[in-house]
Amino acid sequence: MNAPVFGLIVIGDEILSGRRSDKHLAKCIEILADHGQALAWAEYVGDEPQRITATLRRAFASGDAVFCTGGIGATPDDHTRQCAAAALGVALKPHPEARALIDARMQAVAREQGQPWQPDHPDHQRRLQMGVLPAGARLIPNSYNQIPGFSCSGPGGGAVHFMPGFPVMAWPMMEWVLTHEYAGRLDTGARQLERSVIIFGSIEAALTPVMERVEAAHPQVKVFSLPSMDHPEYGRHIDLGVKGPPPAVQAAYADLRAWLAPLNLRYGPEITRP
């Protein structure tokens, strides 16, 4: 079975409006890297049901392993559970285990606050909506407050893993998904390596022929060129390099440097990133 391709969907108007800064992208990349994996794509979506449904439909059909954060609560602006069901064409159903976990959590909160447990109170009945999930959903444990996330499989053989927007909850859930849903499927030997060199006083157009030559000669790697206008250490420069499997990167980088040599460029430091 092939190793999964990973994607990320971040849902929430607050991200797109700038009221909150997204922290999930950088952390997801870090978590995946710790498991020898890389993030292939990411999308940001506001709290608009039709757009969320369309995004999730594409994710389910992709065959990829997708983390999706935000919108699984029980307030009127939380649409992700409903959109997931619509994207899959299945019904929303109360999940008995999810309900039991929500009940247990709120009983514990009542005890901590010295309040009576009121399972029929309207507030609690609204909370139970967080346990109404697409048919066939699998639970993701929530180590922070025990109210679970959930996973659903798509027709393309992949899955979308839904978790809250709160980092303190979502990030441990990402770890759990990787170690439980994908146990034995992660090729930790397939770690990626980047090697690059800082180049001063050049333009990308002048470097493009060398980049094309390297990619043609080394199809296992990707060549990248990252120009910067105001870097705090290097100022105006281009970070030019290759990334991919370590053995392929070493060979491609050697050719890159050799084929750059006739251009008489001015170099800064070389950089290696695991």
pLDDT value of residue 192: 79
- Domain 193-273 CATH assignment equals 3.30.565.10: no
Which strand (E) or helix (H) includes residue 6? strand 6-11
pLDDT (tens digit, 9 = 90+) per residue, 230-257?
A: 888 899 999 999 998 889 999 999 999 9
Tell me the DSSP string of 134-189. ETT-EEE--TTTS--EEEEE-TTS-EEEEE-S-HHHHHHHHHHHHHHTTTTT--TT
DSSP structure class, residue 95: -
CATH code given to domain 6-180: 3.40.980.10
> Is the predicted pLDDT of residue 186 greater than 90, yes or no?
no
Domain boundaries, the chain: 6-180, 193-273
Among candidate residues 51, 33, 6, the one with its CA nearest the CA of residue 160 = 6
**Do 6-180 and 193-273 show the same overall fold?**
no
pLDDT (tens digit, 9 = 90+) per residue, 82-107?
A: 999 999 999 999 999 999 999 999 99
pLDDT value of residue 185: 79
pLDDT (tens digit, 9 = 90+) per residue, 30-66?
A: 999 888 888 999 999 999 999 999 999 999 999 999 9
- Whose tokens are 């440097």? That residue is 257
pLDDT value of residue 5: 93
Per-residue tokens: 219: 């199809």
Percent of the chain with pLDDT over 90: 83
